[in-house]
A = this chain, B = another copy of it.
Amino acid sequence: MGEVASLRAAIAALVHDGDTVALEGFTHLIPVAAGQEIIRQRRRNLTLVRMTPDIVYDQMIGAGCARKLVFSWAGNPGVGSLPRFRDAVQNAWPVPLEIEEHSHAGMANRYVAGASGLPFAVLRGYAGTDLAGLTDTVKPITCPFTGETLTAVPALNPDVGIVHAQRADRAGNVQFWGITGVHKEVVLAAKRSLVTVEKIVDRLRERPGAVVLPHWTVTMVAEVPGGAHPSYAHGHSDRDNDFYVTWDSISRSRTAFQRWLDEAVFATTGGVAP
């Protein structure tokens, strides 16, 4: 556990065709470089899980890696829509995309159940919405003490959980800070996990708001400076807001997207986004 490897070796070892893969990072510490390495290794028929599919999943979906998407908000934050995601949903291009849609509260609790070794989680959610009727992953549950009806959602335990973090030490202990999202939950819920980090150091030092995941909870660690671009790593980089806008123009046209794929992903040896 906590094995340090190259990004290429880690993806090759951990991600297989047909796997359920969750790349997480709530606007912060998104493992974009790892997503692009999955594209580069031409993985197919993945079930992609993510609360906020944004540019990284637009890229993976457009590249034809995914057969299904489990999510709660699919957009380009602050800019608009995800053209590749829309093209897949509305026109099955390049391949059909099955979707399973939830709310943030539902997705977050599904990861919590997964991390807790429970088959389901309970929340006050979905009541009265049209979401519940579209999936068998939202069901009513009755409180055995009060008789009140609440909502149950099943645990998420992805085959692979991938996040980006600021630091790891050489033993593979991982540390991240700032907005931590569902980082801890997805790593603990996943059967296998990969953490890409800005920097591998000899010793982690305590920091306000920092979360540490011991090496024995992380399968592999890869040093990928800038691996969250165009999202950011608190204390290392700023969010590249211009790229989010640029992405819209790239993603709107299939040909522009294909050109971007060839130039930015397949022609490169991997690591950092353009």
Report which A residues bind B (CB closer than 8 A).
117-124, 137, 139-141, 143-146, 148, 150, 152, 154, 206-210
Contact = CB atoms under 8 A, between A and B. Distances in A.
Given A206-B208, A207-B208, A208-B208, A154 B150 contact: no
A140 B144 CA distance: 8
Contacts of A152: 143-145
B144 A120 contact: yes
A145 B154 contact: yes
A18 B36 CA distance: 62
B139 A119 contact: no
B119 A145 contact: yes
Contact of A122 (B122, B140, B207): B122
* Chain A interface, DSSP helix/strand/loop, else mixed: loop
Residue from the set A122, A124, A139 with the largest chain B CB neighbour count within 10 Å? A122
Contacts of A141: 141, 144
Given A206-B208, A206-B209, A210-B208, A120 B139 contact: no
B139 A145 contact: yes
Nearest to A208: B206
Contacts of A146: 119-120, 154
Contacts of A124: 117-118
A117 B145 CA distance: 14
A109 to B, nearest CB: 10
25 contacts: A118-B122, A118-B123, A119-B143, A119-B145, A119-B146, A119-B148, A119-B150, A120-B143, A120-B144, A120-B145, A120-B146, A121-B122, A122-B122, A139-B144, A139-B145, A140-B144, A141-B141, A143-B152, A144-B152, A145-B154, A146-B154, A206-B208, A206-B209, A208-B208, A208-B210
A146 B152 CA distance: 12
Contacts of A137: 145
- Most B C-beta atoms less than 10 A away, residue of A119, A146, A150: A119
Contacts of A208: 206-208, 210
A206 B177 CA distance: 13
Nearest to A118: B122
A143 B59 CA distance: 36
B118 A150 contact: yes
Contacts of A139: 144-145
Contacts of A121: 122
